[in-house]
Structure 1
Amino acid sequence: MFVGIDAGTSLVKAAAFDRAGRELAVEARPVGLELRGGAVEQDAEEVYGAVVAVLGALTARVPEPVELAGLTGQGDGVWLVDAAGRPVRPAISWMDGRAHELVDQWLADGTVEAVFRRTGSAMFPGCPGPLLAWLDRHEPKALDAAAAAVACKDLVFQRLTGAGRAVTDVSDASMPFLDPRTRSYDNGVVELLGLTHRRGLLPGIGDPIATGAASGAGLPAGTPLANGPYDLPACALGAGVTAPGDGLLIVGTCLASLVATTALDLGGEPAGLYISTDRPGHWLRAMPAMVGTAALDWVLRLTGAGHRDLDDLLGASPPGAHGVRVLPYFAPSGERAPFVEPGLRAELLGVSLESAPADLVRATCEGIGYAARHCLEAAGLTGSLAVCGGGTRSPAWTGLLADVLGRPLRVVEGEVGARGAVLAAAGRYGVPLDTAAWTGPARVIEPDPGRAASYAKRYEEHLELLAAARRRAARC
């Protein structure tokens, strides 16, 4: 069997597949997030322990020999480790907002734009550049104690293999220090961020991804293991999004829009990033909006409902939600795609005593759909669109997204990130797999022409409301 490991933000999963790509079993463990005053941290040992636990449970359930394993996980943030891959402080999540004042300063003085023109990465508070600069100012002893500043999956890879040094892949290195043309770190960007004296913390890059043998923790000793890509490009691989112009929408905690491209355009408004892939000259133009299902989770809790109620709630409110609108920018660090605005916050509009909980839920789902359309248009979508993630478990919401986006959706089910991690590992080790069979959609959802036309008009109104909200955020 083939094993894919996905160390996500709130859930760690391991999935087993047979050679034809059929999903045999999945094991999952939740992991915690600590939120306080804009800071979002995780216990790295808890995350690693969850990886070992799900692997042990999975291999016990499916006692077939493990031919190959691939690893993926959440990107961005900063996971400071010592030479053995053990954390020297709690991991800082990609959702963290403590560096927002620094990003505001860099937006004002042109640093954000200068970095984007060099690397195609528009920094946001939760990415490694601002976080390392913040730590250098406020917790220099933590950086002094660290051997490397890695991403989540890199810590896991080092521990699972017993590797003597930290290593990452070209996808996780893409934000914000990687030159996408040379596929190596741009020391000019390191200097722009005032981090030249911390340059040694950047891990080595296994181009395209690093490989090693498992040392026996969770996986049988000697199992070939590949590190990377991180969860967004891994999902693109798992959904079969590799042809230029084709796109993927991940409706997860993060609302991520990805479009495959062979064109590198470092002009325009700095936003999103270009993710380097396993093929030189091929990138994913990524617009990962900060909040996807997390916004819906908040609204469902507010209304006393749960995910099981979502389809019924969407059916109880018509398109347009009786005039209720939601600008779904709930992240404490603002927004990063398709624009960078650390001060932007969510807004609920058109609510009255006549509004029902169903209206608020539908308006939130519609608002997330508008944000996705904005990101996909900015990323240059011209081809087919695949969709995956927890949000697609709701047939009503998936149909709503097809209507808002005005295009057919190729729904890819199961553990798409873990599937992509296996395909990346197979490519690195030269194991032939039928990619088409591994990445075929479960179904295709067509938009309703009438509702799509109505939503197209409301989308233009959404952009007007968003422009006004951004002006207010910029003044604060």
Structure 2
Amino acid sequence: MYIGIDVGTSTVKAAAFDAEGRELKVAARPVRLGMRGGTVEQDMDEVFGAVVAVLEEVSGEAVELAGLTGQGDGVWLLDRDGRPVRSAVSWMDGRAAELVDRWLADGTFETVFRRTGSAMFPGCPGPLLAWLDSHDPKSLDAATAAVYCKDMVFQRLTGAPRATTDVSDASMPFLDPRTRAYDNRVVELLGLTHRRGLLAPVSDPVATGEARGEGLPAGTRLSNGPYDLAACALGSGVTAPGDGLLIVGTCLASLVATTDLDLTGEPAGLYISTDRPGHWLRAMPAMVGTAALDWVLSTTRIAHDEVDALLADTPPGANGVHVLPYFAPSGERAPFVEPRLRAELTGVSLESTPADLVRATCEGIGYAARHCLEAAGLTGSLAVCGGGTRSPAWMRLLADVLGRPLRVMEGEVGARGAVLAAAERYGVALDTGAWTRSTAVVEPNPGRAAYYAKGYDDHLARLDAARARARG
């Protein structure tokens, strides 16, 4: 048995696989997000308790090894014993938007991107640490490490004497992708030199340890990383330059494998360092994916299992209803950074139906994905994974909007990638072709693809106008 643990933003999952990559069992637990006035926080003890609970459901006596992945960014402050200093600040948090605005205006933002390939956004560690340094210095004083979600879980599962992270999580915003080490000039530019000691040491390759017996059998071999975006790329077999992955989850993440580190152009997204030096994932992780549809469904009191029928009940173009799906409190970060951007719903009349609202939202998310994938440099095949893949109608719509075939990866792809990373780290031979085999290929309809190509141009025009309004 091989176990992958994926500590997501709203759901914690563990999946058990056999040696051929077949899922044996999956367990999931929801975790709460505390949202108030643009702040988004999570209770670390609740998150860890959910990890232990799902592991107890799927673990057996003969666990060969386990791999860990989880949500990225945010700030998870730990003391010297690996215990929480305060609630974790989520990557969805918007409190540092004014700092990002200031750095955009004075050139700091662009300078950081040119050095690291990371376009900062309010919920990434740089702005959040700077905000905490000004508004909650006592928490930073009490902490010995500012880590990422999976790093906290790894330390508590293994009892490691100190917190560490890996190159994938460290990629935003302090890591130099060429040296794979922290860029102290970036730390200085963000006013954090006196907090430099909080940055967790980077384990390259990823850290390993043995489980202490919580959730996993004592002595189980466990590896820490990569974080969820890179783990999903591994689990989808996206490693050849030019191939891409679209993750239709809470975050709408577009990734393209590359060996070309290009720090020119409009600063946006990031370069995620991988376990292979000289290989990166050009990532355009838009802030909101399925979360946008979830909001529409909850607001209209429509159940998730009604989505496919509703998509069939209204034509392409949603009878004139349009959605710009930028629902995050911290604005947007890919393929551009606009902290003040908000969602827009237009073209609604008394004749508009719930089906129109649902289709317009799904189309808007598709247009945002196309924008991100083009900016990331997609030239090869495209895999798709995440909760959105459970809707066949949405997958057909996405293939049409993107105008290309989709290689659908169902199941727990992040957990699968975590296992493959652990196997590589421990020298355990697994058939990666079998582990990353797609479950279906969805082809676009030529007529609808042509229609959506024009719709995409309209989307970009609406977006330009919305960005201008956001800037005041």
Query: With structure 1 as the length reference, what TM-score do the two structures score?
Result: 0.99
Q: Hey, what's the Cα distance between the residues in 1 that align with 2:53 and 2:129?
A: 31
**1:273-294 alpha-carbon deviations (Å, 9 max, x no partner):** 0000000000000000000000
Partner of residue 426, structure 2: 429
Contact 1:84 1:159 in 2 (8 A): no
Within a 5 Å distance, the mapping from 1:3-42 to structure 2 comes to 3-42=3-42
Q: 1:108 aligns with which of 105, 109, 131?
A: 105
Contact 1:238 1:417 in 2 (8 A): yes
RMSD: 0.5
Q: Percent identity?
A: 80
Contact 2:61 2:217 in 1 (8 A): no
**1:358 deviation in Å?**
0.7
Does the alignment pair 1:90 with 2:79? no
Partner of residue 207, structure 1: 204
Contact 1:208 1:277 in 2 (8 A): no
Q: Secondary structure at 2:283's aligned position in 1?
A: strand
Q: 1:322 aligns with which of 319, 325, 346?
A: 319
**1:469 deviation in Å?**
0.4
> Runs in 1 of length 4+ with deviation above 6 angstroms?
none
**1:330-379 alpha-carbon deviations (Å, 9 max, x no partner):** 00000000000000000011111111111011000000000000000000
Paired residue type of 1:172 = D
Partner of residue 450, structure 1: 447
**1:261-313 alpha-carbon deviations (Å, 9 max, x no partner):** 00000000000000000000000000000000000001111222011100011
Q: Secondary structure at 2:404's aligned position in 1?
A: coil
Contact 2:210 2:220 in 1 (8 A): yes
**1:84 deviation in Å?**
1.5
Partner of residue 258, structure 1: 255
- Structure 2: where are the runs of 5+ without partners? none
Partner of residue 342, structure 1: 339
Q: Hey, what's the Cα distance between the residues in 2 that align with 1:27 and 1:298?
A: 25
Paired residue type of 1:31 = V
Paired residue type of 2:347 = G
**1:2-24 alpha-carbon deviations (Å, 9 max, x no partner):** 00000100110110001110100
Within a 5 Å distance, the mapping from 1:382-461 to structure 2 comes to 382-461=379-458
**1:208 deviation in Å?**
2.4
- Structure 1: where are the runs of 5+ without partners? none
Paired residue type of 1:3 = I
Q: 2:240 aligns with which of 240, 243, 259?
A: 243
Q: Hey, what's the Cα distance between the residues in 2 that align with 1:399 and 1:216?
A: 44
Paired residue type of 1:2 = Y
Q: Hey, what's the Cα distance between the residues in 2 that align with 1:137 and 1:115?
A: 20
Contact 2:70 2:227 in 1 (8 A): yes
**1:215 deviation in Å?**
1.1
Contact 1:403 1:451 in 2 (8 A): yes
Query: With structure 2 as the length reference, what TM-score do the two structures score?
Result: 1.00
Paired residue type of 1:177 = F
**1:222-277 alpha-carbon deviations (Å, 9 max, x no partner):** 11100000000000000000000000000000000000000000000000000000
**1:90-122 alpha-carbon deviations (Å, 9 max, x no partner):** 000000000000100000111110000000000
Q: Secondary structure at 2:173's aligned position in 1?
A: coil
Contact 2:270 2:283 in 1 (8 A): yes
Partner of residue 216, structure 2: 219
Partner of residue 371, structure 1: 368
Q: Secondary structure at 2:27's aligned position in 1?
A: strand
Q: Hey, what's the Cα distance between the residues in 2 that align with 1:105 and 1:171?
A: 27
Paired residue type of 2:99 = L
**1:64 deviation in Å?**
4.5
Q: Hey, what's the Cα distance between the residues in 2 that align with 1:299 and 1:221?
A: 44
Contact 1:120 1:273 in 2 (8 A): yes
Q: Which moved more, 1:63-72 or 1:341-350?
A: 63-72
Paired residue type of 2:138 = K
Pairs aligned (count)? 472
Q: Hey, what's the Cα distance between the residues in 1 that align with 2:281 and 2:140?
A: 31
Q: Secondary structure at 1:392's aligned position in 2?
A: helix
Contact 2:363 2:398 in 1 (8 A): yes
Q: Hey, what's the Cα distance between the residues in 1 that align with 2:280 and 2:429?
A: 23
**1:6-44 alpha-carbon deviations (Å, 9 max, x no partner):** 010011011000111010001111110000000000000
Q: Secondary structure at 2:336's aligned position in 1?
A: coil
Q: Which moved more, 1:349-358 or 1:127-136?
A: 349-358
Partner of residue 193, structure 2: 196
Partner of residue 271, structure 1: 268
**1:439 deviation in Å?**
0.2
